[in-house]
Structure 1
Amino acid sequence: MQTLNFNNYSFRLKNSENKVYIFDAIRKKFLALTPEEWVRQHTIQYLIQELNYPISLINVEKIVKINGMNKRYDIVVFQPNGQIAIIVECKAPEVTINQQTFDQIARYNFVLQAHYLMVTNGLNHYFCQMDFKNEQYTFLQSLPVYKPLK
């Protein structure tokens, strides 16, 4: 798999029937190793190892209803009180991140109301903080490190 713009993380891989699988620590199962899954697994490790988010607060690939249609988000990080702190949209490295990508995560966030957004293709990462009052977002250098609510 392609080298991504993340630190080096250790992954459990296995081969079966000429396919490579990667273990997902959140879903606790092996998944087919696609380019997008490679990005998703690196992002999960980034959230856990670099930003200290507990595994128990991370949710991966769940369905959310958007305008009556079932959509699937990549990663959501919850706060301990159940509110959504972060939504992450992962794309394969060959997918260019553009306005359409930001529109997709904005539609998800209209329903989910996360405070922070991350969009990544593994090579380029974009981080935003939401300002719901003024209906806009501000780009950041990175996501905040996890701090439990007091």
Structure 2
Amino acid sequence: MDAQKFKRALKNINTPRKVMHAGSLHYLDPIREKYVPATPEEEVRQKILQYLMKVLRVPKQAISVEYLLSKAGIDSKNRADIVVWYYEPNDGYWYALGVIECKAPDVDIMTEDVKEQVFGYADDLLVDYVVVVNGVYSCCWLY
């Protein structure tokens, strides 16, 4: 899909409904199954999650949100925004396919800091695809 089609598709994706929770607006995250504050970055994350599930038809069990790298045996306290996994039936294991870093719309996604962050996750998780998105712009690499 070209950049303009993706931008239009993302614009037409609805986030989950915002609800009042603990005195402020939150989303009920469909993957984490918990309330998360409705920040600009979270709105981008929720749109990407909806895009993955509704447009690309990625099953919920193949998506992790705010994934602690330590869960993969990596000595790190870092969290990847979204990790998409694939199941290998020959060995019965799930493998990381791609990592998606979500930023607020006002964040420049092409800075060295942002690229270092997401490429670090890619190196740690041994993924094939890397995506950075801020709801306005996106960039994808075959890694």
* Aligned partner of 1:88 among 91, 100, 124: 100
Instruction: Give deviations 1:85-141, integer Å, cap 9, x for gaps.
Output: 1100011111111222111111111110111111011110111112xxxxxxxxxxx
Count of equivalent residues: 126
Instruction: Give deviations 1:44-83, integer Å, cap 9, x for gaps.
Output: 1111112111111000002114984310110000001211
Pair 1:34 & 2:46 matched: no
Greater share of helix residues, 1 or 2? Answer: 2
CA 1:39–1:59 in 2, change beyond 3 Å: closer, same or farther? same
Question: Alignment partner of 1:108: what SS?
Answer: helix
Contact kept in structure 1, 2:74 and 2:124, CA below 8 Å: no
- Whichever residue aligns with residue 100 of structure 2, its letter is V
Q: Hey, what does 1:109 align to over in structure 2?
A: 122
Pair 1:46 & 2:12 matched: no
Contact kept in structure 1, 2:81 and 2:101, CA below 8 Å: yes
Deviation at 1:17, TM superposition (A): 5.0
How large is the Cα RMSD of the aligned pairs?
1.8
Could you state the TM-score of these two structures normalised by the residue count of structure 1?
A: 0.77
CA 1:116–1:32 in 2, change beyond 3 Å: closer, same or farther? same
CA 1:10–1:111 in 2, change beyond 3 Å: closer, same or farther? closer
Q: Hey, what does 1:148 align to over in structure 2?
A: none
The range that moved more, 36-45 or 17-26, is: 17-26
Contact kept in structure 1, 2:99 and 2:129, CA below 8 Å: yes
CA 1:67–1:17 in 2, change beyond 3 Å: closer, same or farther? closer
Task: State the alpha-carbon separation in 1 of the partners of residues 31 and 37 from structure 2.
Answer: 15
- Whichever residue aligns with residue 26 of structure 2, its letter is Y
Contact kept in structure 1, 2:105 and 2:135, CA below 8 Å: yes
Q: Hey, what does 1:71 align to over in structure 2?
A: 78
- Whichever residue aligns with residue 37 of structure 2, its letter is A
Give unpaired runs (5+ residues) of structure 1: 131-150
Pair 1:15 & 2:28 matched: no
> Following TM superposition, where does structure 1 have runs of at least 4 consecutive aligned residues deviating by more than 3 angstroms?
65-69
Task: State the alpha-carbon separation in 1 of the partners of residues 56 and 139 from structure 2.
Answer: 15
- Give the % identical residues: 32
Q: Hey, what does 2:4 align to over in structure 1?
A: none
